[in-house]
Structure 1
Amino acid sequence: MPSRTLFRLPFSPSSYHNSIRSSSPTAGLIRNHASFTLLPSLRLLPASTPISIRFRSAERIQARRFHDYVRGQTPTGQTYKVDLDSRKIIGRVSSRGTRQYQEDRTSVHTLTLNPEDLRRSLKRHEVDWIPPGLDGGSPKLAGQVGYFAIFDGHGGQHVSEHLHKRLHGMIEEVDRVTIDETIAFTKRLGGYFKRFRGGALREWVGHPDHRDWMTLEERLTLAFLMADQLLLSREDTRRCGSTASLALLHSLDDPVQPFFVANKISLTTAHLGDTKILLCNRHTGKVEPLTERHHADARIEASRLRRIGGGLITDSFGESRWMGAVENTRSFGDGEFKPLGVTAEPEIRHRVINGADYAYMVFVTDGVSSLISNQEIIDLARNAHDPHRAATTIVNFAEDLGAEDNCSCIVAPLAGWGNVGGTDETEARREYRRRKVSSLSTRMQRM
């Protein structure tokens, strides 16, 4: 059965602003049309924004590989999809700064994972979830996972570009039968990795039939290590590298709703280096950091690297360098530094959040975060009309402060968008810094 109808819904100012006053935290994207039920939706869209939505019969929805759109489901079982490339849905902005090349990359997709694997993975975190909307075993929308990633390349753009194009597909496609080969390759890097036992994959080493499913943590770890193996096998990627921070957002609602309107969300982050993921609390407007930088003087990294000796050396800018050379102690690529303990094994964190308790997530590279504090980044986005405007405001402020490095930012809305509480406590400080930037030293700019 073909798609039933394709239409555009231009909102009038009155109908839009009336819709967001409903009892739901967000409301109004999909209006009553024939037998279709009004759904909660984005409150972030300006009144004049037309949205293309395609409804399909439930029995026609089949699992696909990664997409550039996200799908939701009505209570009657029909589905709609929203384009993730729209600036009104996801904000993505990059600036080259004063650098000759742009080495940052960003990726936003929807992955399709096995819902049974997701259920068992959640069970390990003591979360009971029954995959909704299954039709004769078909994954349908239950396995839909939002993928957001930001990469900060160094020494060239080859590694960040490769990850931008391939990492999301590898996360979908990894197979447990490759674990032994991947761990063996990693151990052959020598130095720090001679005694590597596999981290989150330790239970699988030497036991390919350990079980017939993988947790999300195991899947991410394997994908990161396999991506690094592929990168290190190429001459154009061995001498450069990239940090990475990504988040997987999995709606636990029934019927399934996109991440930006979901009431209950499984949030998993995987992180290497000093790119950042920040969460804005809707009630207080305060920042909740989801990542910690992987420098040798950081608590987690100091403990990890202590086993191989070595030490920190401070450079002429006052920055700590591991073995006198390495700033980020976790990254993709950087083959010559791998024996010193530079690893592509991600730090993975998981939590379940109520979407309405949070306004948005922000992803930034260190070209932004080295100049702007976490709370300033969150405050810069709080009054934006849409995610693209929020990301633009953040990057523009970094440029106003004299950013030299590449600057990139992703802003992903959650159900609490447009209703941030608390006050903008950093506004006065930001304006002072903007006025005085020409007279401040580089170190003062970066405070």
Structure 2
Amino acid sequence: MSAASFVRLARCRGPRGLGCRGLLLYTVATSRRHLRTFGPGLSSTRFDPDSSGRPTPWDSFGIWDNRIDEPILLPSSIRYGKIIPKVSLSKVGAASLIGQRKENEDRYQVSQMTENIIYFAVFDGHGGSEAADFCDNYMEQYIKDLVVQEDNLELVLTRAFLDVDKALQKHLRLSPNASGANAGTTATVALLRDGIELVVASVGDSRAMLGRKGKALKLTVDHHPDRKDEKERIKKSGGFVTWNSLGQPNVNGRLAMTRSIGDFDLKNMGVIAQPETRRIKLHHVNDAFLALTTDGINFIMNSQEICDVINQCHDPKEAAQRISEQSLQYGSEDNSTIIVVPFGAWGKQKGSDASFSFSRSFVSSGRWA
């Protein structure tokens, strides 16, 4: 049965009064029995998502092995006409190490925000933890309130970032703690809706990447002062860019990023809180994981190295721990935080031993000159 035929049949009531839910349950159950009988990688099902009429091996569904055994999201699978696995929060891996810093100013969150939207976020504070703490405490609620009014998740995230930035400014003005007046933070937030729609928003240099077909697909671009478009905005606003002794560009000799939440002393110099966003439709046949990382990891390991290490790990929890520890072993002195979210193709790209570059920079990362 082709995917199109399957969807048409699922939308109506099937033979003998079998409803949509029953039909899909029957189909999935039958297919799983075939999988157990024939084993992974064999043409054991009549599904052909590309409508070619040819039998499709089970690995094309992303169900490669039983290391991440997730149930099927029935409503989403029926709506999109393809098998969509459920992402269980219990399978998500996360790690945050303090490194050589006096305190850990990184924050991260993973939660089931609404019935059909999962929330992932990393915040890397600088100049104190006040800004990162504020985002950690309130960003999710701002987004949750906005999704009730707006269906476009890119617009939701953009507005939430700007609203949180304004709320933080008000909070710091009323706070007796003057030391946090110039605090700021990166923010990289990912929303997964219906197990298939992934939307990412980011300010600063914390990153999001997708493991697709064994390769790292970058979902964010760092907001560094040496980016032409970012540098031009800083200069037009009256700010300037300098380079420190390590060759790192800084806004007004202080901040190594051009977008952030907080850093209010530089807001009139072109530092903004408006995020860059990206929306992508997941293909669970090819997409193995989503990874969110702070610059304690990014500064010392490139995206493909991170992807290669994750592909060698048994599960996302092991992957998160290995990446955070490996960044410190390579010489990172910053806080190192990572979230690893498994998708349908987890385990498909096991990969061989990765070859790492010995030309990496063994200097401490940091945003302040």
Question: What interval of TM-score do these two structures reach, taking the shorter chain for normalisation?
Answer: 0.7 to 0.9
Say which of 325, 331, 344 aligns to 2:260: 331
**TM-score, length basis structure 1:** 0.61
SS in 2 for 1:219: helix
Contact 1:20 1:26 in 2 (8 A): no
Cα distance per residue 1:177-221 (max 9 Å; x no partner): xxxxxxxxxxxxxxxxxxxxxxxxxxxxxxxxxxx7553222212
Matches within 5 A, 1:66-215: 72-73=73-74, 84=89, 86=90, 89-112=91-114, 144-174=116-146, 213=150, 215=152
Contact 1:20 1:27 in 2 (8 A): no
Tell me how far apart the structure 2 counterparts of residues 304 and 297 of structure 1 sit (CA, whole Å): 11
Task: Tell me which amino acid in the other structure corresponds to 2:166.
Answer: Q
Deviates more, 1:300-309 or 1:314-323: 300-309
Contact 1:279 1:361 in 2 (8 A): yes
Aligned residue number for residue 67 of structure 2: 44
Task: Tell me which amino acid in the other structure corresponds to 1:410.
Answer: I
Tell me how far apart the structure 1 counterparts of residues 94 and 37 of structure 2 sit (CA, whole Å): 26
Give the drift of 1:301. Answer: 1.5
**TM-score, length basis structure 2:** 0.73
1:399/1:340 Cα in 2 relative to 1: closer, same or farther (>3 Å)?
A: same
Tell me how far apart the structure 1 counterparts of residues 37 and 333 of structure 2 sit (CA, whole Å): 41
Structure 2 alignment gaps of length 5 or more: 1-34, 45-56, 79-84
Residue 241 (structure 2) pairs with residue 241 (structure 1)? no
Matches within 5 A, 1:39-438: 43-45=66-68, 72-73=73-74, 84=89, 86=90, 89-112=91-114, 144-174=116-146, 213=150, 215-235=152-172, 236=177, 237-251=180-194, 259=195, 265-282=196-213, 285-420=214-349, 424=353, 427-429=354-356
Aligned residue number for residue 26 of structure 2: none
Aligned residue number for residue 124 of structure 1: none
Task: Tell me which amino acid in the other structure corresponds to 2:144.
Answer: E
Contact 1:42 1:415 in 2 (8 A): no
Aligned residue number for residue 3 of structure 1: none
Give the drift of 1:442. Answer: 3.0
Contact 2:119 2:191 in 1 (8 A): yes
SS in 2 for 1:442: coil
1:358/1:337 Cα in 2 relative to 1: closer, same or farther (>3 Å)?
A: same
* RMSD after superposition: 3.4
SS in 2 for 1:329: coil
1:402/1:228 Cα in 2 relative to 1: closer, same or farther (>3 Å)?
A: same
1:168/1:389 Cα in 2 relative to 1: closer, same or farther (>3 Å)?
A: same
1:333/1:42 Cα in 2 relative to 1: closer, same or farther (>3 Å)?
A: farther
Contact 1:20 1:43 in 2 (8 A): no
Tell me how far apart the structure 1 counterparts of residues 319 and 204 of structure 2 sit (CA, whole Å): 24
Tell me how far apart the structure 1 counterparts of residues 335 and 238 of structure 2 sit (CA, whole Å): 33
Structure 1 alignment gaps of length 5 or more: 1-14, 29-39, 54-70, 113-140, 177-211, 252-258, 260-264
Give the drift of 1:408. Answer: 0.4
Task: Tell me which amino acid in the other structure corresponds to 1:221.
Answer: T
Deviates more, 1:300-309 or 1:322-331: 300-309
Cα distance per residue 1:232-273 (max 9 Å; x no partner): 11234532111011111222xxxxxxx3xxxxx222110000
1:365/1:441 Cα in 2 relative to 1: closer, same or farther (>3 Å)?
A: closer
Give the drift of 1:295. Answer: 1.1
Aligned length: 305
Contact 1:27 1:42 in 2 (8 A): no
Tell me how far apart the structure 2 counterparts of residues 365 and 404 of structure 1 sit (CA, whole Å): 12
1:301/1:17 Cα in 2 relative to 1: closer, same or farther (>3 Å)?
A: farther
Cα distance per residue 1:377-429 (max 9 Å; x no partner): 111111111001011111111111122110001111111100017655xx233
Contact 1:25 1:415 in 2 (8 A): no
Contact 1:27 1:43 in 2 (8 A): no
Tell me how far apart the structure 1 counterparts of residues 211 and 87 of structure 2 sit (CA, whole Å): 23
